[in-house]
Chain A
């Protein structure tokens, strides 16, 4: 039957103790198509192809609800925003290369660092994770689409339009300029222009997308897992995405509320943050950081999930201490809601709250440490294959540990008060966010590129990319620690000579250009792969999770036969793939009529019923378009037009709710 590993009849625990399956790496590359998938496709592929075929051309492009196309769009769009926000940073680094530079004006500099932070956090990091989640979560849990495919399309369109909205502000030179956390009263009474309206409206706009996207991922995880995938067989990456999505559901509301209050204060003269009229400026900080700290983990947890996918595959063994990795992920998500005040140690709050939040902040390093040891242990007990993805995962471990250590330093209140608002902070959060998110994401791109595009990337090109990015990053950001301890404040547009900061700044600027070259090189490697890369087989790396049981790139219906999952490493246990052959004549597993997939139970993944999925529709794009109009009219202060746009949006939503597939199933 399978050539990958001998068929095993053991339990999860037996699979866990398997030493290595390195030999399967060579064996698997012999197949372009996995024999089990080939057999299943031969039986039902033609019928499914006819049913799931998508409309070609522009109409197909705007009406698609296919999670793989939407996931790829997320990645491309967020990648583009990353590039723009990165260019902002490069301009800032150029300005800071030497003392007393005046390449750009201070006003523009303010807008650049605000946009850099805001766009990187909100419009790159979170949606890039959503891109991976959208594409790979349904594949990894063995289903055919997201729980709400149309909502998924809506979530993408809103993300795209809100990103364009934000960059329109920058193009008009009225981008937000009060820092990415936009403290009042600077963002309120001292900012009469449109700048901060772009901020509050843009983030409220985006929050719609993030919220519905997060709910969709959670419900897909709960109700759509392949039969047999009980909670203890869910891949760590899926756990990362699900924890992140749960966190978004609870963390976005305070940010939305803060932005709503800011908008009402600015536009309708309300007094939430007006200290002279009974308001309170610190309220903004509490609401913002009640979102802001969980957001760090919203960005980092899925990226850690990517690392937990790469490391087992390229260590050729199951992940070490799987239950602890999952529990640590979930624990991080929960504890992260109780540490927000460590961003406010210098505000002047009471000693009691400083002590509590200092202790809570120290606590959160424990689950991160557990995961770190699990990855190291997996590599130690396995046989490491140094692919580009693995190099990125290792860069992540080194960089994130450094960022974590400086993070623990910040939990110590006196130290925090000493270095707050200095370049030490800048160094810390770039180690955490670049090391913790960007490096795993790049690793994820190299790892999953064959699945995303159907092409292989150049091994040598990938290795050079990993080295360039690692070196460029360290040269750019390591000196910032020293420079911060020397007292250079963040967010200054230039600095006088003679403080001993000039050399460090020059080194950092050189590092930034190396980093930029590294990204250009990476882009080149991917472009070269798209144009002339070898065609990818189904399972090029001998991976352990279900996405490798689909085609490269997967067919519109993902799985011709929904498999029965027998272990945490379904592609290594033999029986899971075999179930695709065994069930290929079972209507309940092939579901060749209409768009259908299986609905299973939340805990044990037992079959509940076959459910119908909606097909292509233009409704999501219409809703997003009317929402965009609403936001633009609110910005321009044309309230009547905004109300009309909201009404039209309501009509489309009513039309949408009218046609629910579960109602339109054939009558009994």
Chain B
């Protein structure tokens, strides 16, 4: 018989590590033949993983569509009526988003110990995400006169692919605000380790995606 509340208390903080430890102890006792690792994934962790899977599948199809249309176009890419895309501003945006993974990572590592450190780190990540969205908008103003969403397939791809990604970063920023709000409202007392960890998975995904899209949309027109 296990006292439920005692078990809950034991597994509340550092849920994953505790479950892992219990598994290892059970193996040492000889109760289980081998440890199942990793143990203690939460339903939220799996939910975010599957969400990332479906999003990744959609962006993979989109990037594949980009190359499909690019290689079924005869002649130059972008078409002669469009100018080559601007590399600098979106490059800075992508760099900022990728670098923001560092404070995100640090936030995850500190979220179980010192939540007062986590908070400013997450604020930094949120600002980086906002910067990315703003720089994307700046890039649209650079591209706009020569390429438009409805001028040709090149323009449709450029604006929609990057726009959809920037929209996702925007959603990520809003989710981040929710996590920050949760920390403020709960007075840094209740643990937010789970939420931070799940949020970080999404953030890394957005950063990887930003690199793939940057290479596809802003660099390949120069080399192909």
Q: Taking the complex as formed, is A271 at the interface, i.e. its CB lies under 8 A from any CB of chain B?
A: yes
- On whether the beta carbons of A665 and B12 are closer than 8 Å, the reply is yes
In the complex, A650 Cα to B171 Cα: how many Å?
A: 10
Q: Which of A218, A261, A608 contacts B39 (CB 8 A)?
A: A608
For B15, list chain A residues within 8 Å (CB).
609
In the complex, A148 Cα to B48 Cα: how many Å?
A: 12
- On whether the beta carbons of B178 and A587 are closer than 8 Å, the reply is no
Q: Is the interface of B mostly helix, strand, loop or mixed?
A: helix
- On whether the beta carbons of A586 and B69 are closer than 8 Å, the reply is no
Q: Which residue of A is nearest B65, CB measured?
A: A283
Given the known interface contacts A277-B153, A609-B19, A662-B42, the answer about A219 and B8 at a Cβ–Cβ threshold of 8 Å is no
Q: Which of B36, B153, B174 contacts A650 (CB 8 A)?
A: B174
For A667, list chain B residues within 8 Å (CB).
190
Q: Mark B1-43, 1 if CB is under 8 A from A, else 0.
A: 1111101110111010001000100000000100010011111
Q: Taking the complex as formed, is A405 at the interface, i.e. its CB lies under 8 A from any CB of chain B?
A: no
- On whether the beta carbons of A587 and B12 are closer than 8 Å, the reply is no
Q: Which of A223, A261, A277, A596 contacts B46 (CB 8 A)?
A: A223
Q: Mark A594-615, 1 if CB is under 8 A from B, else 0.
A: 0010010111101011110000
- Of A50-58, A251-259, A371-379, A619-627, the one touching chain B: A251-259
Determine how close the nearest CB of chain A comes to the CB of B148; give it in whole angstroms.
10
Q: Which of A455-506 contact B (CB under 8 A)?
A: none
- On whether the beta carbons of B41 and A279 are closer than 8 Å, the reply is no
Q: Which of A250, A608, A609, A660 contacts B57 (CB 8 A)?
A: A250
- On whether the beta carbons of A278 and B153 are closer than 8 Å, the reply is yes
In the complex, A120 Cα to B32 Cα: how many Å?
A: 48
Given the known interface contacts A147-B43, A593-B4, A662-B44, the answer about A654 and B178 at a Cβ–Cβ threshold of 8 Å is yes
Q: Which residue of B is nearest A248, CB measured?
A: B54
- On whether the beta carbons of B69 and A609 are closer than 8 Å, the reply is no
Q: Which of B7, B39, B155 contacts A610 (CB 8 A)?
A: B7
In the complex, A636 Cα to B66 Cα: how many Å?
A: 30
Determine how close the nearest CB of chain B comes to the CB of A212; give it in whole angstroms.
9
Determine how close the nearest CB of chain A comes to the CB of B125; give it in whole angstroms.
18
For A278, list chain B residues within 8 Å (CB).
69, 73, 79, 152-154
- On whether the beta carbons of B8 and A665 are closer than 8 Å, the reply is yes
Q: Mark A255-290, 1 if CB is under 8 A from B, else 0.
A: 011001100110011111010011110010011001
Q: Which residue of A is nearest B191, CB measured?
A: A663
- On whether the beta carbons of A256 and B58 are closer than 8 Å, the reply is yes
Determine how close the nearest CB of chain B comes to the CB of A189; give it in whole angstroms.
14
Q: Which of A222, A271, A608, A658 contacts B152 (CB 8 A)?
A: A271
Determine how close the nearest CB of chain B comes to the CB of A455; give it in whole angstroms.
34
Determine how close the nearest CB of chain A comes to the CB of B139; give it in whole angstroms.
18
- On whether the beta carbons of B61 and A254 are closer than 8 Å, the reply is yes
Q: Taking the complex as formed, is A360 at the interface, i.e. its CB lies under 8 A from any CB of chain B?
A: no
Q: Which of B198-215 contact A (CB under 8 A)?
A: none
Q: Which residue of A is nearest B194, CB measured?
A: A662
Q: Taking the complex as formed, is A564 at the interface, i.e. its CB lies under 8 A from any CB of chain B?
A: no
Q: Which of A257, A602, A603, A654 contacts B65 (CB 8 A)?
A: A257
Q: Which residue of A is nearest B153, CB measured?
A: A278
For A252, list chain B residues within 8 Å (CB).
54
Given the known interface contacts A277-B152, A588-B7, the answer about A257 and B58 at a Cβ–Cβ threshold of 8 Å is yes
- On whether the beta carbons of A272 and B153 are closer than 8 Å, the reply is yes
Q: Taking the complex as formed, is A30 at the interface, i.e. its CB lies under 8 A from any CB of chain B?
A: no
- On whether the beta carbons of B11 and A609 are closer than 8 Å, the reply is yes
Given the known interface contacts A215-B50, A252-B54, A280-B72, the answer about A271 and B150 at a Cβ–Cβ threshold of 8 Å is yes
Q: How many residues of A contact B (CB 8 A)?
A: 61
In the complex, A285 Cα to B32 Cα: how many Å?
A: 51
Q: Taking the complex as formed, is A211 at the interface, i.e. its CB lies under 8 A from any CB of chain B?
A: yes
In the complex, A606 Cα to B53 Cα: how many Å?
A: 26
Q: Taking the complex as formed, is B62 at the interface, i.e. its CB lies under 8 A from any CB of chain A?
A: yes
- On whether the beta carbons of B7 and A609 are closer than 8 Å, the reply is yes
In the complex, A250 Cα to B60 Cα: how many Å?
A: 11
Interface contact tally, CB-CB below 8 A:
161
Q: Which of B140-178 contact A (CB under 8 A)?
A: 149-157, 160, 174-175, 178
In the complex, A277 Cα to B32 Cα: how many Å?
A: 64
Q: Which of B5, B60, B182 contacts A658 (CB 8 A)?
A: B182
In the complex, A587 Cα to B32 Cα: how many Å?
A: 23
Q: Taking the complex as formed, is A348 at the interface, i.e. its CB lies under 8 A from any CB of chain B?
A: no
- On whether the beta carbons of B149 and A270 are closer than 8 Å, the reply is yes
- On whether the beta carbons of A219 and B50 are closer than 8 Å, the reply is yes
- On whether the beta carbons of A609 and B174 are closer than 8 Å, the reply is no
In the complex, A611 Cα to B42 Cα: how many Å?
A: 10
Given the known interface contacts A215-B47, A587-B2, A588-B4, the answer about A253 and B57 at a Cβ–Cβ threshold of 8 Å is yes
Q: Taking the complex as formed, is B222 at the interface, i.e. its CB lies under 8 A from any CB of chain A?
A: no
For A148, list chain B residues within 8 Å (CB).
43, 47
Q: Mark A19-51, 1 if CB is under 8 A from B, else 0.
A: 000000000000000000000000000000000
Determine how close the nearest CB of chain B comes to the CB of A272; give it in whole angstroms.
5
For A277, list chain B residues within 8 Å (CB).
151-153
In the complex, A147 Cα to B79 Cα: how many Å?
A: 50
Q: Which residue of B is nearest A585, CB measured?
A: B1
For A663, list chain B residues within 8 Å (CB).
182, 186, 190, 192, 195
Determine how close the nearest CB of chain B comes to the CB of A127; give it in whole angstroms.
18
Q: Which of A212-231 contact B (CB under 8 A)?
A: 215, 218-219, 222-223
Determine how close the nearest CB of chain A comes to the CB of B187; give it in whole angstroms.
12
Q: Which of A618-668 contact B (CB under 8 A)?
A: 650, 654, 657-658, 660, 662-663, 665-668
In the complex, A219 Cα to B45 Cα: how many Å?
A: 10
Q: Which of B62, B153, B160 contacts A274 (CB 8 A)?
A: B153
- On whether the beta carbons of A271 and B151 are closer than 8 Å, the reply is yes
- On whether the beta carbons of A249 and B53 are closer than 8 Å, the reply is yes
Determine how close the nearest CB of chain A comes to the CB of B88; give it in whole angstroms.
26
For B36, list chain A residues within 8 Å (CB).
601-604, 606
Among A611, A667, A668, the one with the most B-chain Cβ atoms within 10 Å of its Cβ is: A668
Determine how close the nearest CB of chain B comes to the CB of A276; give it in whole angstroms.
9
Q: Which residue of A is nearest B22, CB measured?
A: A608
Q: Which of B5, B54, B175, B194 contacts A250 (CB 8 A)?
A: B54
For B54, list chain A residues within 8 Å (CB).
211, 215, 249-250, 252-253
Determine how close the nearest CB of chain A comes to the CB of B26; give it in whole angstroms.
8
In the complex, A666 Cα to B5 Cα: how many Å?
A: 9
Q: Mark B59-95, 1 if CB is under 8 A from A, else 0.
A: 0111001001100110000010000000000000000
Q: Which of A219, A223, A602, A610 contacts B4 (CB 8 A)?
A: A610
- On whether the beta carbons of A253 and B2 are closer than 8 Å, the reply is no
Q: Which residue of B is nearest A587, CB measured?
A: B4
Determine how close the nearest CB of chain B comes to the CB of A378; give it in whole angstroms.
31
Q: Taking the complex as formed, is A512 at the interface, i.e. its CB lies under 8 A from any CB of chain B?
A: no
For B23, list chain A residues within 8 Å (CB).
601, 606
| 10 residue pairs, one from A and one from B, having the closest CB atoms | A253-B58, A278-B153, A269-B150, A253-B57, A270-B156, A279-B153, A215-B50, A271-B153, A668-B9, A588-B2
Q: List 12 A-B contacts (CB under 8 A).
A: A211-B54, A252-B54, A279-B153, A280-B72, A599-B42, A606-B23, A608-B39, A609-B7, A609-B8, A611-B43, A657-B178, A658-B178
Q: A264-B156, A278-B69, A666-B8 are in contact. List 14 more A-B contacts (CB 8 A).
A: A253-B58, A256-B58, A257-B61, A268-B150, A270-B156, A271-B155, A274-B153, A287-B61, A588-B1, A602-B41, A606-B32, A608-B39, A663-B186, A665-B12
**Which A residues fall within an 8 A CB radius of B?**
147-148, 211, 215, 218-219, 222-223, 249-250, 252-254, 256-257, 260-261, 264-265, 268-272, 274, 277-280, 283, 286-287, 290, 585-588, 591, 593, 596, 599, 601-604, 606, 608-611, 650, 654, 657-658, 660, 662-663, 665-668
**Which B residues fall within an 8 A CB radius of A?**
1-5, 7-9, 11-13, 15, 19, 23, 32, 36, 39-44, 46-47, 50-51, 53-55, 57-58, 60-62, 65, 68-69, 72-73, 79, 149-157, 160, 174-175, 178, 182, 186, 190, 192, 194-195
